[in-house]
Amino acid sequence: MRDATHTTIEPGTIPLPGLLDIAAEALLAEFREELTNRGYADLRPTHGCVFRFVREDGMRLTDLATNAGITKQSAGELVDDLVKLGYVERTADPDDRRAKLICLTERGREAQRVGFGIFTELEQRWAAHFGQERFDQLRELLEQIAAEKAPAAVPELSHAALAGVRGE
Amino acid sequence: MRDATHTTIEPGTIPLPGLLDIAAEALLAEFREELTNRGYADLRPTHGCVFRFVREDGMRLTDLATNAGITKQSAGELVDDLVKLGYVERTADPDDRRAKLICLTERGREAQRVGFGIFTELEQRWAAHFGQERFDQLRELLEQIAAEKAPAAVPELSHAALAGVRGE
DNA sequence: CTGCCTTGTAAGGTGACCTGACCAGATGAC
DNA sequence: GTCATCTGGTCAGGTCACCTTACAAGGCAG
């Protein structure tokens, strides 16, 4: 079927970035379908980065942006959206009158729980379908790749960075 | 380290779509760097879908768009770009005076060879770095996922579709 | 208290798509 | 043959998820 002796990708082989994209998109599509089914059709994929990074005790826009790896203007727009939709609110920061703390509302916390729950379920479903061991190996390898190639995106390291190192 | 008994993703775990994106982006960044080093800095990532799908004997815009999974307007814009940059040309289709055949120029064919070559090299490099067997398993699983979740994107199947089935 | 550094916002731009409307040429029905 | 319909490609304009530049309001160190 496939001839591994060629020095070039044969026509018909999808380049790896393409395969990764396809898998990511498929997973995201299933995620969004579930999210819609559970009554959160108004959330767009990009809103995820707020839910993923916002802390329980509130968070400044600048920190959110740094964590998510986007500009504060972009983060601000996402937060505006989520405020309109009732998922987060901006409260005054007691320590700094320029700043506002971004906090999840009750509905926001619910959405966060549901969202993380869906990811967990989906991974379990895919693992059962494609083979638990193969799937675990996939995640493990991807985590290693992420740690080596994009350390800023890996929470453990980026929290360390926030705690003073900020190397870069 | 990681407690698999939780029913929810623990904070600190990157959802799988995110991990897939990180890997895809890292790979693409290395690809683009190599491409730039070899004198093709004027090619943008989206131009890739033309190089990936265009056939040796020329291809109609509509077919290109169908294969790439985008609208003919978008495909047309990419082709316009590549014509300006000297990688492809539009020639008259002898069988249909409405249609034009999109063909690679000599430089276009060179870029295509170089591009596929870089993907091959990169995969070999990553395989050597992360472990040949693990890497092969990664590709294998991703190919299975692609075949099941996005059959239209898999060349073998989509060529069959072009050859008459066009189911959908 | 003055000059600089942050926090957040406003305005406008870009890339990579999309939809709707359309024309020119092909094709099938009559 | 010719007329309606289908198809290949283009034009205009919209959207989404970002971006950069510029700036006001508030903090902070000398």
Q: Do B18 and A153 touch (CB under 8 A)?
A: yes
| Smallest Cα distance from A63 to chain B, Å | 16
User: Long-range pairs for A122-127 at CB < 8 Å and ≥24 separation?
Assistant: A122/A27, A122/A30, A122/A31, A122/A34, A122/B16, A123/B16, A126/A27, A126/B16
| Nucleotide lying nearest to A59, CA to C1' measure | C7
Residue B162: pLDDT band with limits 50, 70, 90: very low
pTM for the structure as a whole: 0.85
Phi, psi of B71 (to 5 degrees): -75, 160
Q: Which helix (H) or strand (E) holds A63?
A: helix A61-68
Query: Which residue's alpha carbon is at the shortest distance from the C1' of C23?
Result: B98
pLDDT, residue A126, reads 97
pLDDT attached to residue A155: 65
pLDDT band at B152; cut points 50, 70, 90? confident
Residue in this structure with the two tokens 């064919």, named with its chain if needed: B109
Of the candidates A120, A142, A146, which has its C-beta nearest B7's C-beta? A120
Q: Establish whether the CB of A132 is closer than 7 Å to any nucleic acid atom in strand C.
A: no
* Residue A157 confidence (pLDDT) above 80: no
Structure tokens at A63: 């920190």
A112-148 pLDDT tens trace: 999 999 999 999 999 999 999 999 999 999 999 999 9
pLDDT in tens, A4-52: 333 344 556 899 999 999 999 999 999 999 999 999 999 999 999 999 9
B72 touches strand D (CB under 7 A): yes
Q: Is the CB of A46 under 7 A from strand D?
A: yes
pLDDT confidence band for B84 (50 / 70 / 90): very high
Q: Is the pLDDT of residue A156 over 60?
A: no
> pLDDT of A45-69, one tens digit each?
999 999 999 999 999 999 999 999 9
Contact: A138, B138; criterion CB under 8 Å: yes
pLDDT at B13: 85
Is strand D less than 7 A from the beta carbon of B6?
no
Q: Which residues of A touch B23 (CB under 8 A)?
A: 20, 142, 145-146, 149
Distance from CA of B96 to the nearest CA of A (A): 27
